[in-house]
Amino acid sequence: MSQKTAKLTFWGVRGSTPTVDRSTWRYGGNTPCLEFVATDGKRFILDCGTGLRHLGRRYMDSLGDSPLDAVVLVTHYHWDHIQGLPFFFPFVQERNHFHFFSFQSKYLGEDSLKRVLQTQMATPYFPVDVSIFHCKREYTEIAGGDTIDFGETRVSTKWLNHPQGCLGFRLETPAGIVVYATDNEPGVADLDRDLRKLAEGADIYIHDAQYTPEQLRTTQKGWGHSTWLEGISVARDAGAKNLVLFHHDPDSSDRGVDAILRQTRQQYANAWAASEGMVMTLDSHKMDVVMRDSRAGQRREGFFRATIVGYSEEGRAFQEETIIRDLTLHGALLYLENTPRLQSELQVMMEAPVDELHPDGRIPLRGYVVRREPAEDENRNAVGIVFAEEVEPDRGNA
Ligand SMILES: [Zn+2]
Ligand SMILES: [Zn+2]
């Protein structure tokens, strides 16, 4: 049955290794895993990093006894893209069916991905072996330049420039085009050209933005990754509508990623930083973004006067007085007449009793917009913000 929307969910956005540091909590610490549900309901899983465990849990909660059928597209065999495989619970159930697509690695030989899974769970690396998995599994080898149709979705591939090889994927549906091109280092003319072809006219272009331009020029050259600046270049050349910065460095704090996003938006307005739980919906080539609801921290209803300074959806600076009624140690819910942009920064000046610490009677805070919806009072928006950490030493990634 055909519906007109397609939905992309980010379950893991971190590159190289998972992070649990508090300073990476907002964008998330799980390694690459995305789910794409096409217009005809066909499910695709893109990469099997640690985010896959959470997707598996979501399936267990939402599908009940219904069988799960999904196409799994794996870009390459580095740890961060396969780590979640042994922890994906739907593999245990006989009724589920997965069709894996990845390339034949010259280091692994035939049935590369099948071998990866067996090896990950081999003695003495794992307590149980693959015999615990009863689902139906099929493996198909693909290579750069291939095109395969799955119902209403056409998937095509290109080789990327990454140590031991990597595939980029383009998924075309009647609702729009998603291009997933992570783990790629620019600088090889043929492959740079192929990447632009792959990304041509994409509604959502997902780009490896692990390093700063400075890092890529110096210490990280040859590691197989790219930058936000190169992302802008590809997105422009390919005429992509939205650029999603992905595969954040494990040493990039949330503040570091904020800074990368801010720089990117100065040159390319339709840019986003991939964050765990972010959902992008496509409908007739129009894109909508929803961020994960943040419920961390004890909630307190109150009545705090505050002045909010930020930028609206249209990029206009605004300042507005408001009352904060819902506050946690991590964030707050504001009601604003203005419409601040998702993932933009707001200055929040909360009124406080005048004392030695706050001689002007104000507590300055910095928040990031993670949610935005119409409020009951129709002239206002309910705006969820997460307080950003105070200035901390960034490890060279800002
Ligand atoms: Zn990676
Ligand atoms: Zn890699």
For residue range 17-60, what is the model confidence (pLDDT) as tens digits?
999 998 998 999 999 999 999 999 999 999 999 999 999 999 99
What's the CATH number of domain 300-387, 3.40.605.10, 2.40.10.220, 3.90.1150.10, 2.40.110.10?
Answer: 2.40.10.220
**Residues lining ligand 1 (ion), CB within 5 A?**
15, 80, 183
- pLDDT of 358: 75
Q: Say how many Å lie between the CA of residue 395 and the centre of ligand 2.
A: 22
5-290 belongs to which CATH class?
alpha beta
Other beta carbons within 10 angstroms of residue 314's beta carbon come to 8
- pLDDT of 396: 42
- pLDDT of 391: 52
Q: Say how many Å lie between the CA of residue 79 and the centre of ligand 1.
A: 7
Mean pLDDT of 120-136: 96
Q: Are strands 43-46 and 166-173 parallel, antiparallel or unpaired?
A: unpaired
Q: Say how many Å lie between the CA of residue 88 and the centre of ligand 2.
A: 21
- pLDDT of 375: 85
- pLDDT of 3: 62
Q: Say how many Å lie between the CA of residue 28 and the centre of ligand 1.
A: 15
Omega cis (within 30) before 124: yes
- pLDDT of 395: 45
- pLDDT of 338: 94
What are 149-162's pLDDT values in tens digits?
Answer: 999 999 999 999 99
Q: Say how many Å lie between the CA of residue 256 and the centre of ligand 1.
A: 19
Q: 178 pLDDT exceeds 90?
A: yes
Q: Which amino acid is at 64?
A: G
Average pLDDT, the chain: 92
- pLDDT of 363: 85
pLDDT interval class at 180 (50, 70, 90): very high
Q: Say how many Å lie between the CA of residue 95 and the centre of ligand 2.
A: 32
Q: 327 pLDDT exceeds 90?
A: no
Q: What DSSP string describes 320-371?
A: EEEEEEEE-SSEEEEEESS-BPTT-EEEEEEE----SS-TTSEEEEEEEEEE
Quick one: which of 193, 241, 236, 232 has its CA closest to 209?
232
Q: Say how many Å lie between the CA of residue 105 and the centre of ligand 1.
A: 16
Q: Say how many Å lie between the CA of residue 17 and the centre of ligand 2.
A: 10
Q: Say how many Å lie between the CA of residue 312 and the centre of ligand 1.
A: 34
- pLDDT of 7: 98
3-class DSSP state of 259:
helix
Q: 2 pLDDT exceeds 60?
A: no
Whether pTM > 0.75 for this model: the answer is: yes
- pLDDT of 361: 83
What are 337-396's pLDDT values in tens digits?
Answer: 999 999 999 999 988 777 777 788 888 899 999 999 888 877 899 999 988 866 544 444
Residues of the chain with CATH 3.60.15.10: 5-290
Quick one: which of 164, 248, 175, 165 has its CA closest to 206?
248
pLDDT interval class at 397 (50, 70, 90): very low
Q: Which ligand is nearest to the CA of 182?
A: 1
- pLDDT of 298: 62
What are 329-340's pLDDT values in tens digits?
Answer: 788 889 999 999
pLDDT interval class at 96 (50, 70, 90): very high
Q: 296 pLDDT exceeds 70?
A: no
Give the pair of three-digit tokens for residue 36: 């794409």
Residues of the chain with CATH 2.40.10.220: 300-387
